Amino acid sequence: MTIKLKFAVTTLALALLAGCKTTPDVATSQVVNIPMAPMAPTADELKQEQKVVLLPFEISEQLHAIVAGNGYASLEQALLKAGNAVLERDIAAKMRSELLVAEKTGKYRTSGLQAADIAVMVKVVNADLGSSFSERDYWTDKKGKSHTTPAKCSFSGKTKMHVRAYRLPDMIPIGTYDFEGSASSSTETSNSKCPISTANAEGLIASATNTAIVENQFKLLNELVPPYYVIERRQVPGEQDEALFRTTLSSIKGAKEGMKVNFYRREMRTNPLTNEQSVEEVLLTSGEITNTIDGNGSYVLVEKAAEINKLMLGDVVKVEHDRCPEGYYSLLGSCHKSLSLF
């Protein structure tokens, strides 16, 4: 990096830091007594993990196997990083036939050690390869200088997966999502037939699959967010417009500084027509995880007194996943791998 660029980046960083508001210090804050939420979790619920079974992908063509292999590994890691407990692959494989039947009948009957809270089922819809040939081109720039663009073959790979998620054991639909991705490459050649090696073809499909997972996983993850809970409120004496809330969202469960989280209140609702009761989560407010994170929990900053005073012990905390996962940034509707400047 040049000295000028380093100076510009440093200047920008200092300017941004100067405009940032200081987060309250946990050490100088005091615990504030707040009421218990009407449907606060029990001690057992605080310890529970959300268990997800990711079934082996459904495939019907040879190239689909490339999608299935790469896609399963990527999606499994995304679910784990989001704080879910994912059942082992061999257990998922054993559960596959029964869950496919349950998808049609609406009831999953297995219970016990293999039971999961959520089932995720993926079907590879297509995996396509394409190519196009461009002849050698000659052109002249504004200064009259001649240029030659070599002949080349351009290759493209496209994949599409249909993802379904159900809440067990009643196979209640959570959502369906289409994951689509593409990748491209090119090589200089005069061969208009555009031959491509097996390794390069599989690499394109694998890259397209990775793009499909990276750019679409937030749709699924935001529906499958595990619940965490408020267990403490702290404030600096005399400060009314900001407070720290201790939550059970820990570093082990993926908590990171700057993550946005939403707070919900669980309420029992009764359908006036059927008298059936159900638990609903009502959005209260949002906050941002601070840099005070450990293996048991984290502190979330909430601002504005009116928002702070809504929250109770036992209220639900859920992460809101960005469109692009950690390590990627969004540009022109696509996710791109972040590069370190230093």
pLDDT 10s digits, 248-257: 999 999 999 9
In this prediction, residue 239 carries a pLDDT of 87
Lowest mean pLDDT among 84-88, 98-102, 179-183, 216-220: 98-102
Lookup: tokens for 195 = 């031959």
Q: What is the mean pLDDT of residues 199-203?
A: 95
- pTM of the entire predicted model: 0.84
pLDDT at 64 over 90: yes
- The H-assigned helical ranges of the chain are 3-18, 43-47, 64-81, 89-105, 198-221, 305-308
In this prediction, residue 235 carries a pLDDT of 94
pLDDT at 18 over 80: no
CA-CA-CA-CA dihedral for 279, 283, 289, 295, to nearest 10: 0
Percent of the chain's residues with pLDDT above 70: 92
Cα(137)–Cα(262) distance, integer angstroms: 55
Regarding beta strands 277-293 and 242-247, do their DSSP bridges make them parallel or antiparallel, or are they unpaired?
A: unpaired
Residue with tokens 């240029």: 147
Q: What is the mean pLDDT of residues 223-228?
A: 94
pLDDT tens digits for range 131-174: 999 999 998 888 889 989 999 999 999 999 999 999 988 889 99
pLDDT at 46 over 80: yes
What's the mean pLDDT when you consider all of the chain?
A: 89
In this prediction, residue 128 carries a pLDDT of 94
Q: What is the mean pLDDT of residues 281-291?
A: 96
Lookup: tokens for 40 = 């606060």
In this prediction, residue 111 carries a pLDDT of 56
In this prediction, residue 174 carries a pLDDT of 95
Q: How many angstroms from the chain centroid is the CA of residue 216? A: 8
Cα(7)–Cα(289) distance, integer angstroms: 30
Q: How many angstroms from the chain centroid is the CA of residue 190? A: 43
Higher pLDDT, 113 or 289: 289
Q: What is the mean pLDDT of residues 77-94?
A: 93
| CB-CB neighbours of 306 under 10 Å | 8
User: How deeply is 238 buried, as exposed, middle or buried, from its count of CB atoms within 10 A (0-12, 13-18, 19+)?
Assistant: exposed
Q: Closest by alpha carbon to 217, among 72, 339, 332? A: 72
